[in-house]
């Protein structure tokens, strides 16, 4: 029997890696940067594993040239990074700090010089602390401040960055930041979380308009969502209802207004005990519902739910960190279950069919928009061998499975234009500190030396050839 032909991706497919500012940059007090909510949170005792902070992170601020060279050596043709708001606008309002913008200009020029397409995210969770002190995302004013910041960055970099994302995973900002409190700023108030969600939506819409007013029309504007891929435990009507509620609270609450100009009616009913939604003002939905060019999808694992028995209600783990408070407003009647199957170091089940389902769902939900997988990846307990190499066959298998799912979705008609591995480098994994390694590239946290893991070499070969290499050869190439 002849070997099956390896699956070929479209020739223009973007093979990228993703990072975010606070997770990799370090240099938190340099060039005029001021604290963000993550500086404050990580410096608060008990909030992160081992008291870890992003003070140094992986020192990308000083090593960005080496990191870009690493990507070029691997053969990647795209890189998604985020801008630190408080590096550009230290108080979250007013004029920009040129030195902050210059860093991103140098980074982008280095990428372009190496033939790597930059993709810029404006907000990956690091709100300037001064804006949180003024009320943070539950306050409407924060959305206006974000639009101003977007206009500044768009004017500075719009001539050289074509791919723009306003927000990364607003669900985490709203519900982990203000609901369960496992993320900065660590508040536990469901009404505030729902207000935050609306103001993040408004921020997205106003920022999209601001970007369009200062950037060349060829540039693409998107948002990256991490809608849960919800699976009901059974076909019982009450389990289907539970699944729908979590879908609304993770997806509809964002893609409803952003893609369709309306919140799902069911969401208002389901959360009526928490908020009356009077924070939604006339004109907001039109401001949020801006035409987009693309949609970013972040996927790691599916979410399995059922109706909760009345006697089993209360806080429980849904894979989003340890807290006595649930991130999910008005969802005491929903029980979360561990999906069956192999798990990563985060305890997240490996299930590439979830990525396929997510892509196909948004192909229907957002017809005409280009889709990008803006994050996908896995944490494993990677360690260098005695020869100094880092072999991570589980991550190779994870990537192979998920990229195969992307390929299948494209074959089935989905317009997926690119994939960004989360993450380029091991980095600060928020409340988990440096305990969880998501990188394709291993970082020695003492020397900060970078070593591509076998998964990065495998992924680089995929990028260079446009096909998925056999998994059993992973790591033998270098
Ligand atoms: O590290 C995070 C990233 O910042 C946002 N999406 C999920 C990743 C893994 O938890």
Q: What is the DSSP letter of 140?
A: T
- Statement: residue 476 has pLDDT above 80: no
Output the CA–CA distances (angstroms, integers) from residue 187 to 41, 47, 91, 388, 434, in the order listed: 11, 12, 21, 42, 23
262-277: average pLDDT: 98
What pLDDT sits at residue 58?
99
pLDDT bin (cut points 50, 70, 90) of residue 324 is confident
pLDDT in tens, 232-268: 999 999 999 999 999 999 999 999 999 999 999 999 9
What pLDDT sits at residue 427?
98
- Residue 375 is a catalytic residue: yes
What pLDDT sits at residue 4?
62
- Residue 169 is a catalytic residue: yes
Q: Please indicate whether residue 39, judged by its CB atom, sits closer than 6 Å to ligand 1.
A: no
- Statement: residue 2 has pLDDT above 90: no
Q: Please indicate whether residue 34, judged by its CB atom, sits closer than 6 Å to ligand 1.
A: no
What pLDDT sits at residue 420?
99
User: CA angle, 190 as apex, 185 and 196 as ends, to 5°?
Assistant: 60
Of 169, 394, 429, 461, the catalytic one is 169
- Statement: residue 359 has pLDDT above 80: yes
What pLDDT sits at residue 320?
76
pLDDT in tens, 112-134: 999 999 999 999 999 999 999 99
343-363: average pLDDT: 98
pLDDT bin (cut points 50, 70, 90) of residue 343 is very high
C-alpha span between 470 and 478 (Å, rounded): 15
Q: Please indicate whether residue 426, judged by its CB atom, sits closer than 6 Å to ligand 1.
A: no
Output the CA–CA distances (angstroms, integers) from residue 240 to 243, 315, 400, in the order listed: 5, 21, 31
What pLDDT sits at residue 319?
75
| pLDDT-above-90 percentage for the chain | 94
Tell me phi and psi for residue 343, to 5 degrees: -125, 155
Quote the ligand 1 centre to 419 CA distance (angstroms).
15
pLDDT in tens, 379-410: 999 999 999 999 999 999 999 999 999 999 99
Of 25, 132, 139, 375, the catalytic one is 375
Q: Please indicate whether residue 132, judged by its CB atom, sits closer than 6 Å to ligand 1.
A: no
Tell me which residue has its CA closest to atom 2 in ligand 1: 429
Tell me which residue has its CA closest to atom 1 in ligand 1: 429
Tell me which residue has its CA closest to atom 5 in ligand 1: 169
pLDDT in tens, 69-118: 999 999 999 999 999 999 999 999 999 999 999 999 999 999 999 999 99
Tell me phi and psi for residue 226, to 5 degrees: -120, 50
Tell me which residue has its CA closest to atom 4 in ligand 1: 20
What pLDDT sits at residue 391?
98
Of 132, 131, 25, 16, nearest to 71 by C-alpha is: 16
What pLDDT sits at residue 26?
99
* Domain positions in the chain: 14-302+339-473
Average pLDDT of the chain to the nearest whole number: 96
What pLDDT sits at residue 7?
78
Q: Please indicate whether residue 239, judged by its CB atom, sits closer than 6 Å to ligand 1.
A: no
Tell me which residue has its CA closest to atom 10 in ligand 1: 429
CATH of region 14-302+339-473? 3.20.20.80
C-alpha span between 380 and 465 (Å, rounded): 26
Report the predicted TM-score, pTM, of the whole model to 2 decimal places: 0.97
What pLDDT sits at residue 321?
78
What pLDDT sits at residue 323?
82
What pLDDT sits at residue 144?
98
Q: Please indicate whether residue 82, judged by its CB atom, sits closer than 6 Å to ligand 1.
A: no
């Amino acid at each position: 029997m002849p070997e099956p032909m390896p699956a070929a991706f479209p020739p223009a497919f973007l093979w990228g890696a993703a990072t975010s500012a606070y997770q990799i940059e370090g240099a938190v007090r340099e060039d005029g940067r001021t604290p963000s909510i993550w500086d404050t949170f990580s410096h608060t005792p008990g909030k992160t594993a081992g008291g870890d902070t992003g003070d140094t992170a992986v020192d990308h601020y000083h090593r960005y040239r080496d990191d870009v060279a690493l990507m070029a050596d691997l053969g990647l043709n795209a890189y998604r990074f985020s801008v630190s708001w408080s590096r550009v606008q230290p108080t979250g309002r007013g004029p920009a700090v040129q030195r902050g913008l210059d860093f991103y200009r140098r980074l982008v020029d280095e990428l372009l010089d190496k033939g790597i397409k930059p993709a810029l995210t404006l907000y990956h969770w690091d709100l300037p602390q001064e804006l949180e002190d003024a009320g943070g995302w539950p306050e409407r004013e924060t959305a206006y401040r974000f639009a101003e910041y977007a206009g500044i960055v768009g004017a500075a970099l719009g001539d050289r960055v074509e791919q723009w994302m306003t927000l990364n995973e607003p669900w985490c900002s709203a519900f982990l930041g203000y609901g369960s409190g496992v993320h900065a700023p660590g508040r536990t108030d469901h009404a505030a979380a729902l207000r935050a969600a609306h103001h993040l939506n408004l921020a997205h819409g106003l920022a999209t308009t601001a970007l369009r007013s200062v950037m060349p029309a060829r540039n693409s504007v998107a948002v990256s969502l991490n809608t849960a891929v919800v699976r009901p435990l059974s076909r019982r009507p009450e389990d289907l209802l539970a699944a729908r509620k979590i879908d609304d609270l993770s997806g509809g609450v964002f893609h409803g207004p952003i893609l369709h100009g309306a919140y799902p009616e069911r969401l208002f009913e389901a959360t009526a005990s928490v908020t009356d939604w009077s924070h939604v003002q006339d004109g907001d939905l039109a401001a949020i519902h801006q035409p987009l060019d693309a949609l970013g999808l972040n996927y790691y694992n599916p979410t399995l739910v059922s109706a909760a028995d009345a006697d089993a209600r209360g806080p429980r783990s849904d894979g989003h960190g340890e807290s006595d408070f649930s991130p999910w407003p008005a969802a005491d009647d929903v029980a979360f279950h561990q999906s069956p199957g192999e798990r990563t170091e985060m305890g997240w089940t490996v299930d590439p069919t979830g990525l396929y389902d997510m892509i196909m769902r948004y192909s229907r939900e957002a017809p005409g928009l280009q889709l990008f997988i803006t994050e996908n990846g896995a944490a494993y307990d990677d360690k260098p061998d005695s020869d100094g190499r880092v072999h991570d066959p589980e991550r190779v298998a994870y990537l192979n499975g998920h990229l195969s799912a992307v390929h299948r979705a494209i074959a089935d008609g989905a317009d997926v234009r690119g994939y960004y591995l989360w993450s380029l480098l091991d980095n600060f994994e928020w409340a988990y500190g440096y305990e969880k390694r998501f990188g394709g590239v291993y970082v020695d946290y003492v020397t900060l030396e970078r070593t591509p893991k076998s998964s990065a070499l495998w992924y680089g070969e995929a990028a260079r050839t446009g096909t998925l290499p056999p998994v059993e050869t992973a790591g033998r190439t270098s």
